[in-house]
Amino acid sequence: MPSHTEESAVTVLGLGPMGRALAGAFLDAGLRTTVWNRTPGKEPELVKRGAVAAPTPEEAVAASGLTVVCVLNYDAVDAITRRDAVAGALNGRTVANLTADTPGRARETAAWATGHGIGYLDGAIMTPATTIGTPDGVFLYSGPERLYLDHRPVLDALNGSHTHLGTEIGQAAAYDIALLDIFWTAMTGYAHALAVANAEGITAKELAPFAKGIGSILPPIFEQLADDADSGNFSGEDNPITSAASSMAHIVHTSEAHGIDAGVMRAAEGLARRAIGQGHGADGFLRVTEILARHRLPGTDTRQRRR
Ligand code: NDP
């Protein structure tokens, strides 16, 4: 079992931009912080600030009751942790894995950890490395509530907001994926919009104030439509899907007139036209959510139920 000292200490495995930010915030909060990275050379700055650099991951995890892992993906997590020496050192201790990957990988990693007597919390960081240690950082967790409460005092040293989403271990990764789905489709739309605007002689800087305006329309829409989406009410009273499809077609035509690939918008218009073809032309755009959910590929319904 970890000693009392270990409980007020933390280990960080992975010193990419995010791992370094996490370790820096723990140091700023006065915790005894042990760090390790696969490739040496990323720890000197942290050591200057008081971190202990461990020569091996097994020595790193043995130094603390809680190990925070933050590397590229779960293949990297496995490469570090699934060696006998590391798994043995982690036995009786806790891992909070803040690495991003899929809900399936989170569940699989949790099963491995349980089989090796390791307490396991999965987590996701929803804000950039620059927010760590500030009130703007957003951290999501899933896994055993007792473990979360036990380690919350250490995690609180990161500042920001911390939310435990429940005991179903895949939930943090599931939220992460859903939120990144919004982010990357929006960024793809922005990149495409800049290409089309540029072809029409408009610079990114000229578009920016209006792009901000369009962006600010979205948050209230997310709130207003959440109840509708959950209850299956896809009212299109103010903005029917026929109107959305027409607007999308204009974007496709303008892009292609400039020789710009419109594949992403064609896919979106295709979804809208599918809904219209199924008799939902008077509904709102979110009807496509129900159509996407209804038309899963055979044998792929892996819906999770929260416990
Ligand atoms: P990266 O995602 O680039 O991860 C770099 C880290 O992963 C380094 O420590 C690197 O070690 C390690 N790594 C990669 N492959 C392996 C491997 N096979 N074995 C061991 N270690 C490996 O950098 P970040 O720090 O930015 O991100 C870490 C995690 O945080 C990611 O999952 C990311 O999605 C998430 N995240 C990052 C944000 C950010 O702003 N940076 C924001 C929100 C989430 P080495 O130095 O030896 O290559």
CA dihedral of 81, 86, 92, 96, whole degrees rounded to 10: -30
Q: Decide if pLDDT at 168 tops 50.
A: yes
Q: How far apart are CA 127 and CA 133, in angstroms?
A: 11
Span 239-297, pLDDT tens digits = 899 999 999 999 999 999 999 999 999 999 999 999 999 999 999 999 999 999 887 66
Where are the chain's structural domains? 4-168, 174-293
18 lines ligand 1 (CB under 6 A): yes
Q: Could you tell me which of 51, 115, 127, 54 has the C-alpha nearest to residue 88? A: 115
The residue whose CA has the least distance to atom 38 of ligand 1 is: 128
pLDDT reported for residue 1 = 44
180 lines ligand 1 (CB under 6 A): no
Q: How far apart are CA 101 and CA 176, in angstroms?
A: 9
Mean pLDDT across 210-225 = 95
CA dihedral of 119, 123, 128, 130, whole degrees rounded to 10: -30
pLDDT reported for residue 2 = 45
- CATH tag, 4-168: 3.40.50.720
4 band by pLDDT with thresholds 50, 70 and 90: very low
Residue from 18, 69, 122 whose mutation best tests the ligand 1 pocket (most atoms within 8 A of CB): 18
Please give the CATH superfamily to which domain 174-293 belongs: N-(1-d-carboxylethyl)-l-norvaline Dehydrogenase; domain 2 (1.10.1040.10)
Residue from 71, 134, 180 whose mutation best tests the ligand 1 pocket (most atoms within 8 A of CB): 71
From the alpha carbon of 38, which atom of ligand 1 is closest?
Answer: 47
Q: Which residue has the tokens 């490395």?
A: 129
The residue whose CA has the least distance to atom 42 of ligand 1 is: 128
Span 173-205, pLDDT tens digits = 999 999 999 999 999 999 999 999 999 999 999
Q: What mean pLDDT value characterizes the chain?
A: 94
The Å distance, Cα 212 to ligand 1 centre, comes to 30
Amino acid, res. 15? L
Mean pLDDT across 135-156 = 97
